[in-house]
Chains A and B, each alone.
Chain A
């Protein structure tokens, strides 16, 4: 089970079932900007003609999002939090080739 990301509990609900939030430590966030590489662009461009899923881009975005979450968790750890609640994700395209993946939430102390 991947409920703990480096010892910090991450959920996107407002409360954690079975735990009391004792203190909020502000908004924590993590982001990453990923460019697709040219080799992938060519193969995925060919795949795009046929339509359907672009597997390499799915993988790329998954890795990037993992990194964004990792940075958010590192931010929370530096504040001494034990959990992050109400996590939201946002995606924006900086240019045609690069996407920014952004994760944010509220760092809290629980007991």
Chain B
């Protein structure tokens, strides 16, 4: 027979390889997850505060250099000397850490407002708006009119485990004054 024992062994290994890889990932996840969670408990709140501070300072310095906030929600703007326009958009996927999820879960059982989620989503939204300002200025626009902000869930109901995050999507029309 042409098919030797060696060939069968190789074929068997090839079939088993994906399962072995999955098992390896499973083992690594089981070992790594508690460590990551401890890391998150210790540092995720600091990370969030740092993110908020960075967004706020960038926003403040941009506002100071322009003397105004370039974003408005007015449709059509308020000035008549617009020479060119075009769409600008930006999106940010932002999620709470698993430590924040745990705090939120406990808070949810007591009821009332869940401040930690509000803080996380606000941080994401502020970041998206700041990026919209920056991308508008980088593209040569003076202002952004008719700004709309959408927030959509990246982890829909029924999805087991997985990612817990929201996507904040901000868009508007960049305008240039003559």
Q: Write the residues of chain A forming the contact surface with B, with a CB cutoff of 8 angstroms.
A: 1-5, 9-18, 41-42, 44-46, 48-54, 57-58, 61-62, 65, 69, 87-93, 95-97, 99
Contact B158 A96 (CB under 8 A): yes
Contact A51 B169 (CB under 8 A): no
B108 is an interface residue with CB less than 8 A from chain A: no
B112 is an interface residue with CB less than 8 A from chain A: no
Contact A1 to B162, CB < 8 A, known contacts A52-B51, A89-B169: no
CB B129 to nearest CB in A, in angstroms, measures 14
A-B CB contacts (within 8 Å), total count: 154
Contact A3 B92 (CB under 8 A): no
Contact A51 B85 (CB under 8 A): no
Contact B91 A50 (CB under 8 A): no
B23 is an interface residue with CB less than 8 A from chain A: no
Contact B86 A52 (CB under 8 A): no
Question: Which residues of chain B (17-31) have a CB below 8 Å from chain A?
Answer: 25
Contact A18 B97 (CB under 8 A): no
Q: How far is the CA of A80 from the CA of B120 in the complex (A)?
A: 45
Question: Which residues of chain B (126-145) have a CB below 8 Å from chain A?
Answer: 127, 139-141, 145
Contact A52 to B25, CB < 8 A, known contacts A13-B85, A18-B83: no
Q: How far is the CA of A62 from the CA of B139 in the complex (A)?
A: 17
Interface size in chain B (residues, C-beta < 8 A): 65
Contact B155 A96 (CB under 8 A): yes
CB A106 to nearest CB in B, in angstroms, measures 14
| CB neighbours of A41 from chain B (8 A) | 162-163
B87 is an interface residue with CB less than 8 A from chain A: yes
Contact B152 A93 (CB under 8 A): yes
Contact A42 B97 (CB under 8 A): no
| CB neighbours of A96 from chain B (8 A) | 155-156, 158-160, 162
Contact A58 B91 (CB under 8 A): yes
B64 is an interface residue with CB less than 8 A from chain A: no
CB B10 to nearest CB in A, in angstroms, measures 25
Contact B86 A2 (CB under 8 A): yes
Please give me the 4 A-B residue pairs with the lowest Cβ-Cβ distance, nearest first.
A3-B86, A51-B97, A96-B159, A17-B82
CB B74 to nearest CB in A, in angstroms, measures 9
Contact A15 to B97, CB < 8 A, known contacts A91-B167, A96-B162: no
